[in-house]
Structure 1
Amino acid sequence: MMDEQVKDKTIKKPEDIEKELASMRNIRGLWAKFATIIAIAVSIFHFYTSGFGLLISFEQRSIHLALLMILAFVMYPLKKTDRDRVPWYDIILAAAGTVACLYIYFNHYELAFRAGMPEQLDLIMGAIAILLVLEATRRSIGIALPIIASVFLVYAYFGPYMPGILAHRGFSLRRIISHLYLTTEGIFGIPIGVSATFVFMFVLFGSVLEQSGIGEYIIKVVFSGLGHQKGGPAKAAVVTSGLMGMISGSSIANTVTTGSFTIPIMKKMGFTPEVAGGVEVAASTNGQFLPPIMGAAAFIMIEFTGLPYVEIIRAAFIPAILSYVAIFGIVHLQAEKTGLKGMNKEELAPFFPTLIKGIYFVIPIIGLVYLLVIRRMTALGSAYWAIVMAIIVSLGAKLFIMVWCKSKGVKREDITPDLLPIDPTKESKQGIFSSKELFIGFFKELVGAFEAGAKNMIGIAMACACAGIIIGVVTLSGLGLRMTSLILTLARGSVFLTLVFTMFASLLLGLGLPTTAKYIIVATLTAPALTRLGIPIIAAHLFILYFGVLADDTPPVGLAAYAAAAVAGSDPVKTGLLGFKFDLAAFILPFIFVYSPMMLMIDVTWYKLIWIVITAVIGMYAWSAGIQNYFFTKTRWWERIGLLGFAILSTVPDIQLDLIGLAGILVIYITQRKAANLPLRPYFLGGKLAE
């Protein structure tokens, strides 16, 4: 049945949807081979330097940007009519961008000696690099970020004409280009440095896992465990999308990848297309909050906060779980109030055999967590060895299948997924009966992973380079200090108003920007204002990350909603509104953990932590009931308001507020069960349904 759902005529392929949303070229022939060779070379370069030693900052970053600049102009057209070919001017732009970046690589020693005294050629190369970064960013992720960067460039030049606190003495084009191109505070600053190290390696890690078949395995396991429950396909979609979103780090990519499988099944089981799409949007978006990988956001935070990785994922853990408790509760109550059933158990694979058959898939993830948390290895080194483990595990699985088939005398045509003792990864009939077949299949898989990893990095790298322009202007003009003063002045020292201003900045800048870029920009401009008010640095940065990510499902843009609508064949506006509704818990959690840092495991004892988790889980389920306007039956207006209010009180880590919240939820629990003609004790405590 599952396979049949994927063949739904109204469903587009994930790769087709991603290309439509990203406006990528559909090139073939020599140019396709050229792009593949460059992409593989990019991944090999990063994999090698991560394992055997990074180059110095300027060298690593300039090569990283130069190679991805080639892919940006080859893969993304100037206009839609050029989607099937690579015109001559794009070849020139790709070459010019590469030369401008490599100019830094070959001349960085000389540039260091003449710091502050750039030559004419330095400035020409710098101007080319800045303009082409803006254009490559526009092509790969859209117009929003280049416009913002251009506004900052104008601000740097016309500083004396700016109003009030924003005014500064202004800078010449010579000084602006020199600062943005010839220092590590502009294009080649921290954002592209993070892109060239941590982010690339974790994106590559996700690609290797995906190519090896972990996505298919996760879907099988989750559906076998949850598919039979009420609203089971939607619950499975929540868990699957969360786990895959943690690895992919992209709301859109996660939506179209897992959604292409989960949305058709949800529709088949009775969910409307808009609800199915909304569930996928909320679940896919929140995956970027989920430790231990957090879509690579945790590793960018390391650079901005100076905190160790362990502290970041520890702080992020409880809010991330609570956001999924709320979505899971909403899905369950949606099934309850609409009378939707789960899938028949006969249609699903048994849970434990399915789990065990592919358990080797999780070895690289367990290894990554071990290296990061137990061994306290660097994020870069951990990512390198996690990729090595993923490659070894993939090859080992193929070897095992070959040996087992030969020992059992299994013929090629008889191979089925149920027959093999372990999960056969992507193609059950690839028939590994010889060493040649095995290594050819493994090589194609590895090449595909390295190619996909580099191509997935194009938009991220261009966004980081463009964000570097913004950060360069901020450091050159002193805008960061001015923004901090401006925010604090407007907020009149109020923590709440400062948080509200930061929230709107994150949501507005997040409309159309990738997570990496919006987090970097907002953290640069607003995080100092938050920390000046005494907010812990990790709480401030998680607050910014949450609302930056939530922009992906916030109307009116909500790019993840458009992706889900393309998969579901639904109205994108309605899909976005439902995704926003299902994800509302993630909008209140940041305010709660800022005011009560104990939720981030800051200065909290273990027994207080247990209490916080229990009350917050109850609170999040009550929140779900309030959002759905349904507990055991449709809620009355005062019950709905009460559920939402008491949910917040019981989620806040304060024992008095928790007790008030729990008492209020208990009262509504009693009134709801009476209204639904149900006994006060639920069935698992001995209660029975009324006749």
Structure 2
Amino acid sequence: MQDHDLDSNVLESLAAKDFGGRTPGPYIYRLLIGVAFLWACYQLYIASPLPLKLDFLLFDDNQQRNIHLAFGLFLALLSFPAFVKSPKSRIPKIDWILCIAGVVSCLYVTVFYDDISERLGGTHTVAEIVISVIGLLCLMEATRRIVGLPMVLVASVFALYAFGGRYMPSVIAHAGVSLNRFVDHLWLTPEGIFGLPIGVSNGFIFLYVLFGSLLDRAGAGSFFIRLSMALLGHYRGGAAKAAVVSSGLTGLISGSTIANIVTTGTFTIPLMRKSGFSPEKAGAIEVASSLNGQIMPPIMGAAAFVMAEMLGISYYDVVKHAFVPAVISYMALFYIVHIEALKENIPVAKRVVESTFFKKAFLFATCLILVIVSSVCIYFVISGLKFVFGDYTVWAAILLVSVSYLLLLYLSSRQPDNLLGDEISLEAQKGVKSILLAGAYYVVPVGVLIWCLMVERFSPGFSVQWAILCLLVMLISQRPLVALFRKQSLTPEMFKEGLKDLFHGMVNGSRNMVTVAIAMASAGFIVGVVSLTGVGLLMTDIISTVSGNNVLLMLLFTAVMCVVLGLGLPSTANYIVVASVMAQPFVQLASQNGLSVEPFAIHLFVFYFGLISGTTPPVAVDAFAGAAVAKANPMKTCIISFGYSLRTAILPFIFLFNQELLLFGVSSFWYGLFVFIIAVVAILVFAAASQQYFITKSHLWESAVLLLAAFTLFYPSFWLDQIQEKYAQVPVKNIMEIAEKQPDGQKIRLLFRGRNFSGEDTSRVVLTPLGAAGKPGKQRLSRNAGVVFKVEGEKVIASAVLPGREIAKSGVMSGWELYQMQLPRERIAKQWFYLPAFLVIALIVFFQKRRMPKSQALSEGSSVQSAAA
């Protein structure tokens, strides 16, 4: 009884972090859930074509952001108490005052939008300034309550910097801003609070959080966990392996790591403990699994949508480039769990439904073939629909989805009614077939979303609208249709339950969004100050000075910045702040060092470390949440989960230096598959080295050798650079002829020198593309590199530097001399270095096999046999 109470208290405290934990009287409670439901309805309405068709509540994007934040502030200031000791059963008057003031401040900009627009950049009225200051203060109070005091302190530091710029050190000094200009930029224009972060929250994130909430309310969360247990529960360490898979699936419906931990951990952690894992390891495995759920495509964490907007690329491109690191990271975690099960000698759970190895092999092959054939058939069927039905393709696709839903729901109705409602246990797992058939219809909305995103390549907002429409129909219809399929009588309660699920799903979606909306707005505050003061333009020189122009030190500095800010900021806000300050300067400094870095790579680097901060000692909120659910020692859980997450921490450094892992420069499917296979081997070897266990327990020197082999597989170019120079120097006076002869996509390294604005002699190194071949060298240089050269005797001078291009961004100015030019050398293939790496791995396997005890070999054999079965 005591354990049960403890679990309840833990879940309530974790839920309070997202929902506020207030339990006011019935009338106020109805008001809060009514506003939450209205918020969800409003977001669905403005995302649909209805405003244009009805010409009603037709707001532009800026006004939509104002209303979005107004809803967020209303729920934030009334649902979240000001202090720990503040009353939970009632709402104090001061909270009502703050709530009304915050909402009015947002809606004022919407109502008087035209009048304010006429004064943007000029002098505003006293009323506008007062309203803006009140709005900013209300936002900071909501941020303090929800996000935490550290975010407010960071915002305050940026505000002080904005007002006191003239008193700052010379390297970051600026003229300072007035209160009028400050509120104009941060509150009255779409540059600060109502800028890109809150725009993404309004346009995409709300709908995806709502999709996850509705999918969970439909029962998909329970289905994912039970399916994972049915698939993996009978393996050695099966409960932990099921936690890894179920957390990845739950990432579809969960907007945060903590929410994922609570959703899946309440089921998987007790099972892991029961199977033999210590409480600390059980909690740590769940934390690491839930963290990876946020990086796993196709539905990644909220920051991924912000990333797409900041980079100006499609969400499809984000998923494509993030795919390989995410998948291999998950595979490595699965392998780490298996190693832990071997080290702890976790027994293999007995299956209720026994089967032979050949039956399982046949079933696996059959399922794989069915998935492949079904995917191909669906692709060609929908392509055929476009050809046959033309303008009516949408209606034909709706009919196809409806038939699929009815067929899968019929198969579900043939299964026992309580199949997805039974208690989960290792000893009484139902067969995979039964579980899969019972919940296969949940694939329909998820499949629609993935198809729209990845195949049709619709926008994220448009894609999720179709998926939500499927869920709305599913929630209302699943109970009555199952009753019809079972030839039972229909009752009003069936429809009422569906409407109730729909209502609560929308309310929970809005309540989940309160934290996100406030975090996005507060991040917009910092982004606004950065753009207002121009400090982002100074960061190149600052970072160069701090790091000594060393790329690796720059990366370490960025990683530490992410981790430190992550102590008090949510991962999305953390990403926005660090990326807006560090990303572009890093790309420029890397270029000066001859390293061509795609902007996406450094953004994904920041995204990863923003998530990892939740497991980094000493303040690791995600790890502490896992420890609370597992009733384990928080610091031990934190340290163990950080160890499990080392593979996720090392990957960002690797894919920045080897961008083929992000599929940049990968020109064919087969080469992409080759890159993936090598990456899988490398990450598994790294995982084995970090756990000091490969075939058997590793000696320290064996782990060191495995780390070296993993490094070689990940980054073979490192060794190639040691034996062959990467660039060859060519005469600068022949730059036009040389540029004209270069192939498509070639990059050249240009070294400039000259005087900066301060009159100091300085130099810059720029790695710049030449674009498509077949054009004069002068044209390729001006269009792609952004520079026009003139030859003066033996010197080549940059006569014009075009703004906005890489050369201009690096600080090169007109009149500077090009004193050196370098082209990539022809070198041996870097893949030759894979051979010694594989040879070393084979030798370690040989040595460990020889010394492995016979009893362990027999145990390993039985483990493999049971896993295969």
What TM-score does the superposition give when structure 2 sets the normalisation length?
0.73
SS of 1:156's equivalent? helix
- Checking the alignment, whether the CA contact within 8 Å between 1:21 and 1:563 is kept in structure 2 is no
SS of 1:12's equivalent? helix
> 1:322 and 1:292 mapped to 2: Cα distance?
15
Aligned to 2:715: 652
Aligned to 1:558: 620
Q: Does 1:264 align with 2:302?
A: no
Aligned to 1:670: 846
SS of 2:346's equivalent? coil
> 1:396 and 1:19 mapped to 2: Cα distance?
29
Q: For residues 20 and 63 of structure 1, do their structure 2 counterparts lie closer, same or farther at Cα, with a shift above 3 Å needed?
A: closer
Q: For residues 453 and 13 of structure 1, do their structure 2 counterparts lie closer, same or farther at Cα, with a shift above 3 Å needed?
A: farther
CA drift of 1:475 comes to: 0.8
- Checking the alignment, whether the CA contact within 8 Å between 2:143 and 2:151 is kept in structure 1 is yes
Aligned to 2:518: 462
- Checking the alignment, whether the CA contact within 8 Å between 1:180 and 1:472 is kept in structure 2 is yes
CA drift of 1:547 comes to: 0.4
> 1:8 and 1:584 mapped to 2: Cα distance?
33
CA drift of 1:630 comes to: 1.7
Aligned to 2:541: 485
Cα deviation 1:454-473 (Å, max 9, x = unaligned): 11111111111111111111
More displaced 10-residue stretch of structure 1: 462-471 or 7-16:
7-16
Aligned to 2:102: 97
Aligned to 1:153: 159
Aligned to 1:278: 284
Aligned to 1:521: 577
- Checking the alignment, whether the CA contact within 8 Å between 1:166 and 1:482 is kept in structure 2 is yes
- Checking the alignment, whether the CA contact within 8 Å between 1:192 and 1:465 is kept in structure 2 is yes
> 2:456 and 2:686 mapped to 1: Cα distance?
39
More displaced 10-residue stretch of structure 1: 650-659 or 595-604:
650-659
> 1:659 and 1:103 mapped to 2: Cα distance?
67
- Checking the alignment, whether the CA contact within 8 Å between 2:624 and 2:634 is kept in structure 1 is yes
- Checking the alignment, whether the CA contact within 8 Å between 1:231 and 1:332 is kept in structure 2 is yes
- Checking the alignment, whether the CA contact within 8 Å between 1:222 and 1:236 is kept in structure 2 is yes
What are the residue-to-residue correspondences of 1:31-430 with 2, within 5 Å?
A: 31-52=28-49, 55-81=59-85, 82-115=87-120, 116-346=122-352, 347-405=428-486, 407=487
CA drift of 1:7 comes to: 8.2
Q: For residues 228 and 13 of structure 1, do their structure 2 counterparts lie closer, same or farther at Cα, with a shift above 3 Å needed?
A: farther
> 1:631 and 1:663 mapped to 2: Cα distance?
15
Q: Does 1:530 align with 2:586?
A: yes
SS of 1:182's equivalent? coil
- Checking the alignment, whether the CA contact within 8 Å between 1:156 and 1:170 is kept in structure 2 is yes
CA drift of 1:538 comes to: 1.2
Q: 2:647 aligns with which of 574, 582, 585?
A: 585
- Checking the alignment, whether the CA contact within 8 Å between 1:232 and 1:341 is kept in structure 2 is no
> 1:312 and 1:43 mapped to 2: Cα distance?
27
- Checking the alignment, whether the CA contact within 8 Å between 2:81 and 2:145 is kept in structure 1 is yes
Q: Please provide the CA RMSD for this pair.
A: 2.3
Aligned to 1:541: 603
- Checking the alignment, whether the CA contact within 8 Å between 2:333 and 2:644 is kept in structure 1 is yes
Q: For residues 158 and 252 of structure 1, do their structure 2 counterparts lie closer, same or farther at Cα, with a shift above 3 Å needed?
A: same
CA drift of 1:8 comes to: 5.4
- Checking the alignment, whether the CA contact within 8 Å between 1:512 and 1:559 is kept in structure 2 is no
Unaligned runs of 5+ in 2: 52-57, 353-427, 591-595, 717-829
Aligned to 1:417: none
| Greater relative CO, 1 or 2 (CA 8 Å, sep 6+) | 1
Structure having the higher helix fraction is 1
Q: Does 1:450 align with 2:446?
A: no
Opposite residue 594 of structure 1, the aligned amino acid is: L
- Checking the alignment, whether the CA contact within 8 Å between 2:291 and 2:611 is kept in structure 1 is yes
> 1:657 and 1:69 mapped to 2: Cα distance?
57
CA drift of 1:446 comes to: 0.6
> 1:395 and 1:521 mapped to 2: Cα distance?
41
SS of 1:630's equivalent? coil
More displaced 10-residue stretch of structure 1: 172-181 or 205-214:
172-181
More displaced 10-residue stretch of structure 1: 619-628 or 256-265:
619-628
> 2:65 and 2:639 mapped to 1: Cα distance?
40
SS of 2:8's equivalent? coil
- Checking the alignment, whether the CA contact within 8 Å between 1:246 and 1:295 is kept in structure 2 is no
CA drift of 1:230 comes to: 0.4
- Checking the alignment, whether the CA contact within 8 Å between 1:650 and 1:659 is kept in structure 2 is no
Cα deviation 1:149-187 (Å, max 9, x = unaligned): 011000001101111211111112222122211111111
Q: For residues 149 and 224 of structure 1, do their structure 2 counterparts lie closer, same or farther at Cα, with a shift above 3 Å needed?
A: same
Q: For residues 552 and 101 of structure 1, do their structure 2 counterparts lie closer, same or farther at Cα, with a shift above 3 Å needed?
A: same
Aligned to 2:562: 506
Aligned to 1:428: none
> 2:137 and 2:30 mapped to 1: Cα distance?
27
What TM-score does the superposition give when structure 1 sets the normalisation length?
0.92
> 1:13 and 1:644 mapped to 2: Cα distance?
43
CA drift of 1:648 comes to: 2.7
Cα deviation 1:602-639 (Å, max 9, x = unaligned): 11132222222222212222222222222232211111
Cα deviation 1:634-675 (Å, max 9, x = unaligned): 211111222223223223375234333222221111111111
Cα deviation 1:63-86 (Å, max 9, x = unaligned): 101111110011101112222221
Q: 1:17 aligns with which of 7, 13, 17?
A: 13
- Checking the alignment, whether the CA contact within 8 Å between 1:615 and 1:650 is kept in structure 2 is yes
Opposite residue 280 of structure 2, the aligned amino acid is: E
> 1:14 and 1:444 mapped to 2: Cα distance?
27
CA drift of 1:481 comes to: 0.7
Aligned to 1:427: none
Opposite residue 650 of structure 1, the aligned amino acid is: L
> 1:660 and 1:84 mapped to 2: Cα distance?
68
Instruction: Please say which structure displays the higher CA radius of gyration.
Output: 2
Q: 2:675 aligns with which of 612, 636, 646?
A: 612
Q: How many residues align?
A: 659
Q: For residues 13 and 378 of structure 1, do their structure 2 counterparts lie closer, same or farther at Cα, with a shift above 3 Å needed?
A: farther
Opposite residue 576 of structure 2, the aligned amino acid is: I
Q: For residues 308 and 261 of structure 1, do their structure 2 counterparts lie closer, same or farther at Cα, with a shift above 3 Å needed?
A: same
Aligned to 1:630: 693
Q: For residues 24 and 150 of structure 1, do their structure 2 counterparts lie closer, same or farther at Cα, with a shift above 3 Å needed?
A: farther
> 2:581 and 2:632 mapped to 1: Cα distance?
37
- Checking the alignment, whether the CA contact within 8 Å between 1:288 and 1:297 is kept in structure 2 is no
SS of 1:522's equivalent? helix
Opposite residue 632 of structure 2, the aligned amino acid is: S
Aligned to 2:788: none
SS of 1:358's equivalent? helix
CA drift of 1:395 comes to: 3.2
CA drift of 1:397 comes to: 2.4
> 1:359 and 1:14 mapped to 2: Cα distance?
32
